[in-house]
Each structure stands twice: as C-alpha cells, then as structure tokens.
Amino acid sequence: MKKITIILSLILISCNFSQDKESNSNKSNSLKLTGTIENLKDSLTVVLYKMDSRNFYGKNIDSILSLNGTFELKIDNIEPSEYMIMILDYKNMVAKRNSFWLDKGDVSIIGTYDDFENAKINGSKLTELSKRYFAISEKYSNQMKNGEIELKDFHKGINIEQLNFLFENPNNTVSLSNFLSYTDKLSKDSLQLFYSKLDNQLQNSTYGIALKNSFEIEKIKIGKPFIDISAKDLEGNIVKLSDFKGKVIVLDFWAIWCHYCHEQNQEEFPRLKEKYKNEDFVIISYSVDVDKKDWEKSTKTDNIDWINISNLRGVSDKVVTQYGVQGYPTSFIIDKDGTIIKQMNGYEYNALEIELDKIFDIK
C-alpha cells in the first residue's frame, strides 16, 4: 500500500515551545482569543499555532494554562491566517485540537472538552467560509455512504461544486489557499482568471505568489529532460542536479513532518545505496523544510549519508512547483541522459527497487 503525506492534510503538531514561540510583547493591532470549555480541567497546556503555508507543523505563537474552564490568548499584528489551538494533557497523553481562521476582531471558542474539535468558533467570517467549503465534500461523502452516488460521481461532483464555490468567493485567504490544490487540474487560463480576482495584497501573499508560479513557471514532464536544480547541502556547498548527469538519479522530495519520508529514508534508501553501489547511481534528497535545525535534526535521525540538499523555502519553493509535487514523499527516476522516466508518489516498499532493477538489468 502506498504511504503518502498529502500537502493539504492536517497533521499532528510538534510541540517545541521554546524554539518556535513568537514574542507577543510591545506590539499593536492585537485581538483576543478566548475559550469557554465545559469540563476543561485546570492547568492543562493550551497552545496556539499559526499554520505556516511553507511548513506543515506550524509556528507556536503562544501558550497558557487553563483555569476555571477557560483560557485567553492575545494575538498581535494579525493577518488573515489559519490557526490551530491544542489542549495538551501530558499526564494522560491526550491532545485535543481545533482549527480555525483569524482575520480581524476578537474570537471566542465555546464547547466541551470531550468534543473540542467541534467547538463553536464565534467572530470569524473566514472560519464560516471554510466550513461552507468543506461541507461540500461532507455532503458527497454522506451520499457515497448511503449508496446514492458512485465513486466517479463522488470525485467529479466535489471538484465541480468546490471550484464553483471558490470562483464565487475568490478574494480571501481561505479560498485562495484551497484553490492551490487545483493548480495541476486546471488550465492556465483558469488559473490566471482566479488570480485576476484577487486584490493586490492577496496577489503578493505567499499563497498568491504560489498561484502565480503555478501558471508562469515551466514544469517537468515525464519523458522529457529534467529541469536543473541548484541548492545547498548542510555544509553550505552549492549542489546542482546537472552535476550528476550521466548517472541514474533518484530525486526525492521529503520533510521533517512527513512520517513516511522517514520510513523511506531509514528503510529503502540505505538498501538501494548499497545494492547499486557499483552502478552509475546516486540518490538526491531535496528537503522542503524551512528551518535548517529541523533539516539537520532529521538528517541525523535518518542517518542520511547520500546527497542531501535544500533551499529551505518550504512547500511553496519554486522547485516544488517545477516538479509538480503535491504530496510527500515524491520520488523521480532520471536516466543517464537526464530524462525523467518515472514519478513515484508516496512510499511503497520495493517500488523504486523494481524500477531500478529494470534499468540496471538485474534479474
């Protein structure tokens, strides 16, 4: 079974408070985030994360201990963004979470501890818009469960209705961020049309730039020559993909937050490196992390001793767009002439090895 971490999937958050926490002092333009949660015990850790479009485990904004079933957090210099609130009970190894969007104005969360993920978010129009968008897929999921539609109608219906929704509600961060998941499914004209509906601020945002890249940047095609990559290794040396032309290359995109990437790094790549050590073969791992410390930590944990490079620009990196990476890990096989001959989405044990055996004529 293929193992893959999808870009837009919500994943578990790394709770490294000291390294990622942003200072909230001496700033203006703040809003309050308050929670009134029934059955919330005292002294549980409540952590607020800002979901970073470049890095899926987000940035820790602030944390506080719960008291009398409530908590209150202050957020400064707010810009429209997705956030996650987590309640951590270390004693019982329990984590409750809820995702929402913040724009302008105070926001309150009201609900129960046991059902915190469904607590009501008050004061956030962007959250309401997000719920309406995802309600479309829930509707079709229910129709599938009830046997009302077939699988082909399920996917087709969701895509059509969600795209219509996004084009009808274009000029906001929620719609823009969700629209990015369709960039490989739509024509250049459709992408440009949606981009034209954004105001100047959104066009110049991280999401807006990613959308513009999707219709302006040349992309690789299977059966065509690779697009060269230039990035640095952990020692700061510049490495180019073209440096290895004449060898069979496995180019792999991975990140610290991708569980199956670590599995592949630890299980598959060392075996491939050893098996094909007498062949013209090289593995090149391209990290989409944004923090060098995270990248270095993962490298050591996974015992990576092959080519390992990054531009530390996250999933909005130009290289990610050029190679059309939508999930992690994603691997490409490039032959000695520099032609991309295979794309492998996710980690499936032995899948790469089977393809490489064909190339090297190993029975």
Are 309 and 243 a contacting pair, CB within 8 Å?
Answer: no
| Integer-rounded Cα radius of gyration of the chain | 22
Q: Does domain 230-359 have CATH number 3.40.50.300?
A: no
CA distances from 23 to 27, 62, 167, 310 (A): 9, 8, 37, 28
Reported residue count of the chain is 363
pTM: predicted TM-score of the whole model, two decimal places: 0.71
Task: Tell me whether domains 13-123 and 230-359 share a fold.
Answer: no
Ordered by start, the domain boundaries in the chain are 13-123, 128-216, 230-359
Whether 329 contacts 6, CB under 8 Å: no
For 13-123, give the CATH class: mainly beta
Q: What pLDDT is attached to residue 79? A: 76
Residue ranges in 35-187 assigned as alpha helix (H) = 125-145, 151-168, 173-179
- Tell the residue number behind the tokens 């969701």, with chain if given: 158
Computed from CA positions of residues 219, 222, 227, 230, in that sequence, does the dihedral angle turn out positive or negative?
positive
Q: What is the pLDDT along the chain (363 residues), one digit of tens a residue?
A: 565 544 333 333 333 333 344 434 334 468 899 999 999 999 999 999 888 655 555 678 899 999 999 999 988 866 788 899 999 999 999 999 999 998 888 999 999 999 999 999 999 999 999 999 999 999 999 998 899 988 888 889 999 999 999 999 999 999 999 998 898 889 999 999 999 999 999 999 878 988 998 899 888 999 999 999 999 999 999 999 999 999 999 999 999 988 899 999 999 999 999 999 999 999 999 999 989 999 999 999 999 999 999 999 888 788 998 998 888 999 999 999 999 999 999 999 899 999 999 999 877
Question: pLDDT for 149-189, tens place per residue?
Answer: 888 888 899 999 999 999 999 999 999 999 988 988 899 99
Q: How far apart, in whole angstroms, are the C-alpha atoms of residue 229 and residue 248? A: 16
Give the pLDDT of residue 18. 34
